[in-house]
Amino acid sequence: MRAWEMHPLCCLAGEWPSSGGGGGGLAPGDRSLPPAEEDADAAGEAPAVAGVLYKWTNIGKGWRPRWFAIRGGVLAYSKIRRRVAAEPHPASEAAAGGGGGVRLIGVARGGAGGGAGERPIGFVPLKISSFSESKSDDKRFYIITPTKTLQLRTGCAKDRATWIEALVSARSEYSFNGDLSGDQNDASFSTEKLRNRLHAEGIGEAVIKDCEQIIHSEFSQYQTQMKQRCEEYLSFIGSLPREVEVVNSVDSTVPEKPQLELFKHDCSSSGKCSEYSNTESSDDVGKQEISELSDGDEFHFYDTRQSFSEFATSPADPRKGCLNNGNEDHKSVEPLSAHKAEKCMLSHSKRRSQLPEPIEKEKGVSLWSMIKDNVGKDLTRVCLPVYFNEPLSSLQKCFEELEYSYLLDRAYECGLRGNGLMRILYVAAFAVSGYASTDSRPCKPFNPLLGETYEADYPEKGIRFFSEKVSHHPMVVACHCEGKGWKFWGDSNLKSKFWGQSIQLDPNGVLTLEFDDGETFQWSKVTTTINNLILGRVYCHHHGTMNISGNRRYSCKLTFKEQSFLDRNPRQVQGVVKDADGSKVATLMGKWDESVHCIINNDASKANSHGSHQSSGATLLWEKNEPPVNPTRYNLSAFAITLNELTPELKEKLPPTDSRLRPDQRHLENGEYEKANAEKLRLETRQRMARKMQESGWKPRWFQRDREDGTYRYVGGYWEAREQRTWVGCNDIFGNLSSSQKLPPSALYTSSSI
């Protein structure tokens, strides 16, 4: 008889053997029994409720019978061996006679089976689980835990109701709040060895008794403290089911206690899932119901492990981390002061998490139709619609590359501790991280007007950034940023080559990083190619060599691998760090859109980029932040969404040249596409005066060139002017031109479209 045809009569056993006979094994992560199971096994305790349920495994195997047993607040399940399916078992006879007070559901008395002899392959803690009945099948129900969803089926509708009743009862009856009110002297200890040692030293009896009294007093206080803490932990665990039910019944909200982090249970049905996978798939009806459980009912669960660790450290201590527009909070290991933590949380709470809802419905535009309709025309007079733009300027894109500025903070700290090697490794990781935001960004940023500026003050990151467009022909953007113990500046001039279906962008400029201790690093960016401009999905890749040179001991060479059609592992970055003698001391590997790892003092054979970095002993330097909760058409990161935010308080402090005040960009962000196109055309007409202004001796307001072919350096004074709100020399470059400012038509069309 095949396993899925046998009668659901199975045997019971007082304990599980060390190894199962039918291939039953532990699931990954379940190598040992939970404490409740170990205690029950040690005492020879039989399950309170047991029986056979059909569990959905995967598409290939479908529903499979499993032996389920509730014991000590834990639901355990194991495979059913085929070869013993028809063999009688002593425990089966005991169960049939009602021995042990075991309650069997859906199992006929007096038969035989072979389920309980197997070692369990999975455990479900009922205290942090919830249960739901299927709406389409009266035999099916779900057990939802923080890590997975079990889809189960009974033999009849009555059995389903009985199982759910038993699960709910076991969850409520089994309490972690044990009786801790025993006599403190129960855990007494002997001081006989101490007494003998003191006697050997010639200490008097009175002194020995005083010592014993002190030890007993200290031990009693310690025991009382441990007892109180244990009661707090057990009370916290006991409250989890109520918390889960409350969260399941209301919309998703942020909890008041920062140490209790909620995460949404993600149910996915794509692909082939093993029996031990976190997410288990079923048929179409099951998929739809699980989707309804996840999306409609907003199921959330407490991350128990994180709650325990943080609760044990300090239940009300918010100083252990600070959100930094992404997942940087778990990367920072040094606690902040209470004042800085409070300031950080307040600053972060002001940042927006999504763009405004569009006012108008956007109309798609074909780039090919734009080119076809303007064949033979002067392309400098063609205004591309805002459909091809994202609501950010190139000045803001410069600051977006500093999203992972915490890497420079770490580099500074490593240098202070005398670890120059780790400093350059973090600098290299920062240089790679700047490209992470370019992934799947189909739209181009706005080309800033001559003299346009952008400021970014992010105290929660500890950085202050400023940039300005300093030249129109060629177009050069200069920036300056100050962080915790470091300064970063540079300029960028892109030279483009159009190849029909793609465009190649070659950056020309040097980026400089200077730490407060005098160590500096310089590098230039690599080539970027944007593909499928006419047909297909637009994507970009970065390729070339980046040399990071320092003024002290170490230098780094990074190679961005050029992508090919046959490459199955694209976007690779590999690098080496060498000391002053030219000896290789470290290796870097990773992807510019995922992460960067390093291996110190190892040969290249262990740094295989196609293998697992963890298996090769690599250390994680940087990892890309999670995508935003509210995605946009422009595929902006959570950090990029905050860059163009304009509050009334900030608007009063900004100069009239700031990118946030640019009207066409603001209309595009608000979804006012007709107004955005009109403003873009007006500003492009005005921008055609820029070359004439530059030839007439126009100079940047906040930057100055070192030499004729050198880097633009920040001259200072911007933040002081911002404090005083005196913007001398900052004209309203976004306003309308007066009649006296207008140039003759021959001078209007001398620059490219923006």
Q: What's the CATH number where 57 sits? A: 2.30.29.30
- Rounded to an integer, the average pLDDT of 505-524 is 94
Give me the amino acid identity at 162: T
Mean pLDDT of the chain: 74
pLDDT at 17: 36
Q: Average of pLDDT values for 708-730?
A: 90
Q: Of 433 and 735, which is predicted with more confidence? A: 433
Give the pLDDT of residue 241: 52
Q: Which residue has the higher pLDDT, 458 or 234?
A: 458
Examine residue 743 and state whether it is found in any structural domain, yes or no.
no
Between residues 90 and 232, the one the model is more confident about: 232
- 704 domain residue, yes or no: yes
pLDDT band per the 50, 70, 90 thresholds, residue 412: very high
Residue 149 maps to a domain: yes
702 occurs within a structural domain? yes
Give residue 281's pLDDT: 40
CA distance 386 to 384: 7
Residue of higher predicted confidence among 112 and 657: 657
Residue-level pLDDT at 377: 55
- Of 72-81, 126-135, 207-216, 506-515, which has the strongest mean pLDDT? 506-515
Contacts of 14 (CB under 8 A, 6+ apart): 41, 44, 45, 46, 91
| Predicted pLDDT at 290 | 56
Say which residue the tokens 């890497």 belong to.
407
**Nearest to 521, CA basis, from 496, 548, 544, 499:** 548
Q: What confidence score (pLDDT) does residue 378 get? A: 52
Judged against a pLDDT cut of 50, whether residue 642 lies above it is answered with: yes
| Orientation of helix 205-238 relative to helix 240-249, angle to 10° | 30
The average pLDDT across 714-721 equals: 94
Single-letter amino acid, residue 39: D
Please give the single-letter amino acid code of residue 561: K
Q: Buried (b) or exposed (e) across 330-360, using 16+ Cβ within 10 A? A: ebeeeebeeeebeebeebbeebeeebeeeee
| Residue 11 confidence (pLDDT) | 35
* Residue 100, pLDDT score: 46
Instruction: Say if residue 474 is preceded by a cis peptide, omega within 30 of 0.
Output: yes
pLDDT category of residue 186 using cuts at 50, 70 and 90: low
Taken in order 82, 85, 87, 90, the sign of the CA dihedral is positive
Among 260-274, 403-417, 488-502, name the one with the lowest average pLDDT.
260-274
Asked, for residue 433, whether it belongs to a domain, the answer is: yes
Mean pLDDT of 329-357: 55
pLDDT value, residue 345: 45
Comparing 105-114, 369-378, 413-422, 439-448, the range with the smallest average pLDDT is 105-114
Residue 25 has pLDDT above 60, yes or no: no
For residue 714, what are the contacts with CB-CB under 8 A and spacing of at least 6?
466, 478, 480, 489, 702, 703
Predicted confidence at residue 708, as pLDDT, reads 75
Q: How far apart are CA 300 and CA 244, in angstroms?
A: 7
Give the separation between CA 451 and CA 358, rounded to whole angstroms. Answer: 29
Q: What angle do CA 284, 287, 289 make, to 5 degrees?
A: 110
601 burial (CB, 10 Å; 0-12 / 13-18 / 19+) is exposed
For residue 187, the model assigns a pLDDT of 57
pLDDT of the residue at 376 = 58
* Residue 551 or residue 260, greater confidence: 551
Residue 419 lies in a domain: yes
Give the per-residue pLDDT at 751.
37
The reported pLDDT for the residue numbered 613 is 55
Share of the chain above pLDDT 90, in %: 35
CATH code where residue 410 lies:
2.40.160
Model confidence over 371-399: pLDDT tens digits?
666 555 554 556 778 888 999 999 999 99
| pLDDT band, very low/low/confident/very high, at 228 (cuts 50, 70, 90) | confident
Q: Which residues constitute the domain of residue 524? A: 395-543+646-734
Instruction: Identify the residue with better confidence: 534 or 637.
Output: 637
In a domain, 465, yes or no: yes
Of the listed ranges 28-37, 77-86, 113-122, 433-442, the least confidently predicted one is 28-37
Number of domains present in the structure of the chain:
2
Cα separation, 437 vs 639, whole angstroms: 9
* Among 173, 201, 218, residue at a domain's last position: 173
Positive or negative: CA dihedral 619, 624, 625, 626: negative
**Per the domain annotation, does 31 fall within a domain?**
no
Percentage of the chain modeled with pLDDT above 70:
65
Q: Is the pLDDT of residue 400 over 90?
A: yes
